[in-house]
Every structure is written in structure tokens, then in C-alpha cells.
């Protein structure tokens, strides 16, 4: 019986943690549909937060590659006074990147809904 009690507590903690993180992500970034993303990304800083090998395999035309694994060291390359449009493969890494940028004082942070895997616009392959 005690293992059931322990399991219930662990599941409760995991669910609460997931909900808190989801709320933090939602507060840190505005998610845009592809149409909304296209409307604004040319006037913003378009950042692909995937790893270089993924970026080289194909990326949205005009994007710069600043992988999430390097963002803590390279975030100053991104101007805080201009909108930042982020994307990754499916929107998980871009949400984490948005949280980091928000903590560093960036207030205009947007991400592509569904990420690059759902992108149907223009791309560039290296």
C-alpha cells in the first residue's frame, strides 16, 4: 500500500511541475501561426535555435542560427530592442530559448507554432 501512496505523490509532483512549466512557457513567449509569423519575421530578428547540422539541412530563408546549446553564451548577439522570432523543430527548444531571453530582459519574443517541421514557406538548404 505504501508504494501506491509514494507513486501517487510522485505523479502529483510531476503533473504540477509540468503545469507550472507550461504556464511559464506561455508567459515567456507568444506563439504565432505560420501566417502571423510570416507577417512579422522580416521586420524582426529571425533565430533558428536548432543545432548547426539541423540548420544546414534546411532553414527558413533569412534565419540566423543560434542553437539553444549556445544561447547562454551568445544571447548578446540578439538585440533586445527589436522583436525576436524563434523557431526550432517542433517548438520545445524555442520555448526554452524564449524563457532564457525573457530572463535577460527581452520583451518581444515570438515563436513559430509547431516549429520548422510544419513550415511550408521559403527555405534555404546549405
Tell me how many domains the chain contains. 1
Say which CATH number the domain at 95 has.
Answer: 3.40.250.10
Residue 9 domain-assigned (yes or no): no
Closest CA to 94 of 79, 112, 118: 112
Which residues is 32 bridged to in the sheet?
A: 112
Read off the pLDDT of residues 3-38 as tens digits, 9 standing for 90 and up.
Answer: 887 888 888 788 776 777 666 666 667 999 999 999
Q: What is the DSSP letter of 29?
A: -
Residue 7 domain-assigned (yes or no): no
Residue 79 domain-assigned (yes or no): yes
Read off the pLDDT of residues 85-94 as tens digits, 9 standing for 90 and up.
Answer: 999 999 889 9
Residue 14 domain-assigned (yes or no): no
Read off the pLDDT of residues 92-118 as tens digits, 9 standing for 90 and up.
Answer: 899 999 999 999 999 999 999 999 999
The mean pLDDT value for 76-85 works out to 97
Least confident of 1-5, 47-51, 66-70: 1-5
Residue 100 domain-assigned (yes or no): yes
Which residue range(s) make up the domain with 111?
29-124
- The residue ranking higher by pLDDT, 24 or 70, is 70
- Rounded CA-CA distance 115/95 in Å is 10
pTM for the full predicted model:
0.80
Residue 66 domain-assigned (yes or no): yes
* pLDDT band with cut points at 50, 70 and 90 for residue 120: very high
Residue 20 domain-assigned (yes or no): no
- What pLDDT, on the 0 to 100 scale, is given for residue 28? 60
Amino acid at each position: 500500500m505504501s508504494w501506491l501512496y509514494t507513486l501517487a505523490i510522485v505523479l502529483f509532483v510531476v503533473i504540477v511541475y509540468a503545469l507550472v512549466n507550461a504556464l511559464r512557457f506561455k508567459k515567456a513567449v507568444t506563439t504565432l501561426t505560420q501566417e502571423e509569423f510570416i507577417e512579422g519575421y522580416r521586420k524582426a530578428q529571425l533565430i533558428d535555435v536548432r543545432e548547426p547540422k539541423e540548420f544546414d539541412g534546411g532553414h527558413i530563408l533569412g534565419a540566423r542560427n543560434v542553437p539553444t546549446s549556445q544561447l547562454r553564451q551568445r544571447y548578446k548577439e540578439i538585440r533586445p530592442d527589436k522583436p525576436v522570432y524563434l523557431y526550432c523543430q517542433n517548438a520545445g527548444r524555442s520555448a526554452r530559448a524564449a524563457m532564457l531571453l525573457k530572463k535577460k530582459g527581452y520583451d518581444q519574443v515570438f515563436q513559430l507554432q509547431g516549429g520548422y517541421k510544419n513550415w511550408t514557406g521559403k527555405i534555404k538548404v546549405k
